[in-house]
A and B are shown apart, each in its own frame.
Chain A
Amino acid sequence: MHDVSASPASHQHTAPSGFLRKYVFSLDHKVIGKQYYGLALVSVFVGMILSWLLRLHLAYPNWHIPLLGKFSATGAPDGVMTPEYYLSLLTMHGTLMVFFVLTNAPFAAFGNYFLPIQIGAEDMAFPRFNMMSFWTTFLAFVVMMASFFVADGPPISGWTAYAPLSAVGGDAGPGLALGQNLWAISIVLFCVASLLGALNFIATTLDLRTKGMSLARMPYSTWAWFVTSVIALLAFAVLLPACILLILDRVAGTSFFIPAGLILSDKLQPHSGGSPLLWQHLFWFFGHPEVYIAILPSIGIIATILPVFTRKPLLGPRALVGSMIAIGFLSYMVWGHHMFVSGMNPFSANLFSVPTLIITIPATIMTLLLTASVYGGRMRFDTPALFCLGFISVFISGGISGFYLAQPSLDTYLHATYFVVAHFHFVMALASLFGVFAGTYFWFPKMFGRMMNETLGKWHFWLTFLGVYCVFMPMHYLGLVGNVRRYSAFVDDYLAPLIPVHKFITIAALLTGAAQLIFFFNLFWSRFRGSIASVNPWEATSLEWSTTSPPPFDNFGGHHLVVENGPNEFGAEAPDGTDFVMQAAPRKGA
């Protein structure tokens, strides 16, 4: 290993010995990364159970689930959920998955653990902020989950919480009193935590890179976390005040989102002068960049992992990073494509449509580069590699449907149908999750010092890959027929013939969900029984593979690595006869 000898500065960072400081209120970015991952794991488990319940209700509306009846006697009397409880669970599924899973897992969890190590730093720039970020996120999670246990349950207004449904309080329906308050408070906390986290990521990337780690030599995952933190800083900074205004409308009698003359529950609402469209603009100004907050880290993770398994350099890394930055920039110009039929001036639809379609260009560039990087490789088909290939496939599928929804003239038919549900699950949820799966199988040995079980990993991949296509591809067909989303039942003659398709989707969703239990089991089994991992089991190049598995408290044991190579040095004959050059290895001929 090539490094300059330990400098006195490296000893200022000593490992804590107390249990609380070590495992709970830890300042160590690695512990915080694991905490975020654990929280995402709990959230995805709850979110998945919710999706099972939702799917079961849609396909088999009269099926009794006694346990659900016990959990909520009002929401599911006799174990059959009411229409309003369906919407409550739907809101919670969306909120948990978007915020606590798709934002936390690929960005906060892996970013926290690996961004400092990949740039050769000992920790984040602001370890205390980092701890606050996690615990504030945890508090947000507790407040969100509390809405399950209040009278009327969680809000029924969806994860988008459109005003005035979300703003006028209990007169608009069940769950819109205390449940909606808890939702809004939780999101405020989540925004604060994300802002702290984003600032920390930016400062760390800019200030704490080790000697030789120029921006051009940063691994693509680090690039993605960096670009994402800039996006998150600007996006959550808008959602935060929006949610505060929503809370004020709800509890302080203001009218930011509520116009005059509304009658709910036969009562004229004491509000005037607000605009429901204002909420939509603020929400989607955050909401669209949020899609990229969920997906860019996974793109970076895949771009980092794929060359390790194809054993050749990633094609066009500069174009890939350039595309990430372009997408980050464009993501702020397209929020109105969620609002083509919202009642905003229809002229602006064209204005929002053009940059939306233009985003397909950098997205296509990234997809082509990843696909072409597979060409000519001598691929090692370990589980992370399979999830890389799966990622490219679901990202293509999800990207393609974007061409339809980006056009106002087609959105006028497809808006609010299952076509949209198919689109965002493929492009945001599945692509992001495949990145998380690839990252988990890839980095688990580094995080826990043990390999994950390959056989279980491959079963998990194949069942998941087939499963998600069975669940989400048919939703496109439902959308074509005009099957409206967010319906708790399909009661009319027009939609009734589609019930068999819904049954197929439900069964596929149950099976695909069950396949995730293999993953959960593998995580816990491998943590204690997996074979011991070496320092660099995958023969990768980035700095985390230059330190022990798991890394010591200060990441490099007092060594200060000097980076002499890019992250992409695969395939060439290295001086030691291997086919890769570590970033911290001495430069060839030097």
Chain B
Amino acid sequence: MGRVFAIVLTLITLVSVAFFVMHTWWLPPDISTTGPAVDHQFEETLIGTGVLFLAGQLLLGWFAWNASDKTKKVRPFPGGATPLVTAAIVLVGIEVFTLTFVGSKAWGAIYLAPADPLALKIDVQAEQFAFYFRYAGPDGKFGSVHPEKIDDGSGNYFGLDPANDEAARDDIVAASLVVPINTPVALTLHSKDVGHSFYVRELRVQQDFVPGLDIPLHFTATQIGKYEIVCTQLCGLGHYNMKAYLEVMSAEDFQQWLKTQAGQ
């Protein structure tokens, strides 16, 4: 029975690892300046944990195989517990601290480093079950928001007051996040109702919207294309269908898009 266990466990282990190694299912290609560090960290972790996973499962299988030999006497583990405990502390300790020190850089570049002061500023509003994006318009100033003025029926998703607020009059509100390539973009995330999240797989970023807070998030996209923005924080019955698109354009196309939007 121990031998059957060893064989079954070895097969499970090898098949599981094979799909990781073959990248049968994998992350979509990164399109951001901060993503490569995340991907690098991922590969490092994959190698370290892959070795631990293989070693752990295969040793267990091997020991179970050996323990099924009834002709042998009971044998103690060579060296006893102390070397094992020491090895666990030292090896896993090294792994832990390497991952922390290398990984904290990748995290810091996304979440701790301030956005470029010249970054394109875009205001993002999440609500059940849509995202809206607001650009400052030609005057470069965002109009102030008044939650009580929010009215989805008339398209006033942000609660602007163009009648009394000059800065609000030229604000551009869009249903897609349109950005120029290779340009730093600084988002401010806020929610109209409950918690939501901003997740673009290709940017390797995810950030919750927290009602009552303005949360900054910045990125620079390096590939022209259209990518999904999906909600990852359970927000109600339409959660599965809450999405928008990130459209990365050339600088010229972006300017053209802005003009078209401003003219509407």
A residues bordering B, Cβ < 8 Å? 82-84, 87, 156-158, 162-165, 168, 172-174, 258-264, 266, 268, 274-277, 310-312, 315-316, 319, 341-343, 346-347, 349-350, 353-354, 357-358, 360-361, 364-365, 367-369, 371-379, 381, 386, 389, 392-393, 396-397, 400-401, 403-404, 407-410, 412-413, 415-417, 458, 462, 465-466, 469, 473, 476-478, 480-482, 484, 486-492, 494, 498, 501, 570-571, 579
CB <8 Å contact, B194 and A164: yes
Knowing A400-B52, A412-B206 touch, does A376 contact B111 (C-beta < 8 A)? no
Distance in Å from the Cβ of A199 to the closest Cβ of chain B? 33
Interchain CB contact under 8 A, B56 and A316: no
How far apart sit A372 and B66, CA to CA, in the bound complex (Å)?
12
Please determine whether B237 and A174 come into contact, CB atoms closer than 8 angstroms: yes
Residue of B nearest to A465 (CB): B8
Interface residues of B in 47-105 (CB under 8 A from A): 48-49, 52-53, 56-57, 59-60, 63-64, 66-70, 72-77, 80-82, 84-85, 87-89, 92-93, 95-96, 99-100, 103-104
Known contacts A473-B16, A492-B243, then 7 further A-B pairs from the complex at CB < 8 Å, ordered by chain A residue: A163-B195, A164-B194, A165-B236, A343-B215, A376-B67, A392-B60, A466-B8
Q: How far is the CB of B253 from chain A (nearest CB, A)?
A: 23
* Contact A409-B38, Cβ < 8 Å, known A379-B67, A491-B241: yes
**In the bound complex, how far is the Cα of B94 from the Cα of A254, in angstroms?**
48
CA–CA, A501 to B243, complex, Å? Answer: 22
Given A263-B147, A369-B81, A489-B240, decide whether A312 and B195 contact each other with a Cβ distance below 8 A: no
B57 contacts which chain A residues (CB < 8 A)? 393, 396-397
Q: A371-B60, A403-B99, A409-B106 are in contact. Are A386 and B5 (CB under 8 A)?
A: yes
User: Which chain B positions have C-beta within 8 A of A168?
Assistant: 194
- Residue numbers in A under 8 Å from B164 (CB-CB): none
Contacts A263-B147, A357-B100, A379-B68: A84 and B237 contacting too (C-beta < 8 A)?
Answer: yes
Please report which residues of chain B, range 207-263, place their CB below 8 angstroms from some CB of chain A when the two chains form the complex. Answer: 207-213, 215, 228, 230-241, 243
B134 to chain A, nearest CB (A): 17
B235 to chain A, nearest CB (A): 6
**Residue in contact with B195 in the complex, picked from A162, A261, A315, CB distance below 8 Å:** A162
Which 4 residue pairs are nearest across A and B when measured between Cβ atoms?
A259-B212, A316-B81, A376-B75, A381-B1
1/0 per residue B114-151: CB within 8 Å of A? 00000000000001100000000000000000011010
CB of B240 within 8 A of CB of A368, answer no
Q: Judging by beta carbons under 8 Å apart, are A416 and B194 in contact?
A: no
Residue A477 contacts which of B24, B70, B234 (CB distance < 8 angstroms)? B24
A376 nearest in chain B by CB position: B75
A389 touches B60 (CB 8 A): yes
Select A87's contact among B56, B87, B99, B237, beta carbons within 8 Å: B237
Return 11 A-B CB contacts under 8 Å, by A number.
A164-B194, A172-B128, A261-B212, A268-B147, A364-B88, A369-B85, A376-B72, A400-B52, A416-B197, A417-B232, A571-B74
Q: Is the CB of A409 within 8 A of B41?
A: yes
Is the beta-carbon distance between B237 and A364 smaller than 8 angstroms?
Answer: no
Q: What CA separation (Å) do A173 and B147 show in the bound complex?
A: 20
User: What separation, in Å, do the CA atoms of A361 and B81 have in the docked complex?
Assistant: 15
Known: A84-B237, A315-B84, A350-B104. A164 touches B211 (CB 8 A): yes
Contacts of A311 in B (CB 8 A): 74
Q: How far is the CA of A410 from the CA of B45 in the complex (A)?
A: 9
List A contacts of B106 (CB < 8 A): 409
CB proximity of B112 to chain A, nearest CB, Å: 6
Q: Which residues of B contact A (CB under 8 A)?
A: 1-2, 5, 8-9, 12, 16, 19-20, 24-28, 37-38, 41-42, 45, 48-49, 52-53, 56-57, 59-60, 63-64, 66-70, 72-77, 80-82, 84-85, 87-89, 92-93, 95-96, 99-100, 103-104, 106-107, 110-112, 127-128, 147-148, 150, 152, 192-195, 197, 199, 201, 204-213, 215, 228, 230-241, 243
In the complex, the answer to whether A379 meets B2 with C-beta atoms within 8 Å is yes
A379 surroundings in chain B (CB, below 8 A):
2, 64, 67-68
CB atoms of B2 and A264 under 8 A apart: no
**Beta-carbon nearest neighbor of A268 in chain B:** B148
A478–B28 CA distance with the chains assembled, in angstroms? 12
Q: Report if A404-B45 is in contact (Cβ < 8 Å); known contacts: A260-B212, A393-B60.
A: yes
Which of B24, B28, B89, B236 makes the CB contact (< 8 A) with A156?
Answer: B236
In the complex, which residues of chain B have a beta carbon less than 8 angstroms from the beta carbon of A274? 212
| B residues near A491, Cβ cutoff 8 Å | 240-241
Assuming the A-B contacts A343-B207, A415-B206, A481-B27, are A371 and B59 also in contact, with contact meaning beta carbons closer than 8 angstroms in the complex? yes
Tell me the complex Cα distance, A389–B24, Å. Answer: 29
Taking a contact as CB atoms closer than 8 A, the residue among A261, A350, A393, A494 that contacts B147 in the complex is: A261
Which residue of chain B is the closest to A417 with respect to CB atoms?
Answer: B232
Q: A262-B192, A353-B100, A376-B76 are in contact. Are A404 and B215 (CB under 8 A)?
A: no
**Chain A residues with CB under 8 A of B48:** 403
Given contact pairs A83-B238, A412-B38, A350 touches B207 in the complex (Cβ within 8 A): no
CB contacts (< 8 Å) of B28 on chain A: these are 481-482
* Chain A neighbourhood of B197, CB < 8 A: 341, 416
**Once the chains are docked, how many angstroms separate the CA of A396 from the CA of B37?**
27
Closest to B153 in A: A266
**With known contacts A365-B89, A409-B107, A480-B25, A416–B241 Cβ distance under 8 A:** no
User: In the complex, are the beta carbons of B41 and A407 less than 8 A apart?
Assistant: yes
Whole-angstrom CA separation of A51 from B57 in the bound complex: 28
Which B residues touch A371, using CB under 8 A? 56, 59-60, 63
A349 to B100, CA, bound (A): 11
Cβ-defined contact, A341 with B193, below 8 A:
no
Q: Are B212 and A375 in contact (CB under 8 A)?
A: no
Q: How close is B34's CB to chain A, nearest CB, in angstroms?
A: 9
B234 touches A158 (CB 8 A): yes
CA distance A410 to B147 in the complex (A): 35
> Given A165-B235, A360-B96 in contact, is the A277-B210 Cβ separation under 8 Å?
yes
Residues of B within 8 A of A465 (CB): 8
Inter-chain contacts of A258 with B (CB < 8 A): 211
Q: Please, which residue of chain A has its CB at the minimum distance from the CB of B228? A: A494
Q: Nearest chain A CB to B53's CB is how many angstroms away?
A: 5
B85: chain A residues at CB < 8 Å are: 316, 319, 365, 368-369
**Smallest beta-carbon distance B151→chain A, Å:** 8
Inter-chain CA distance A375–B68, complex, in Å, is: 10
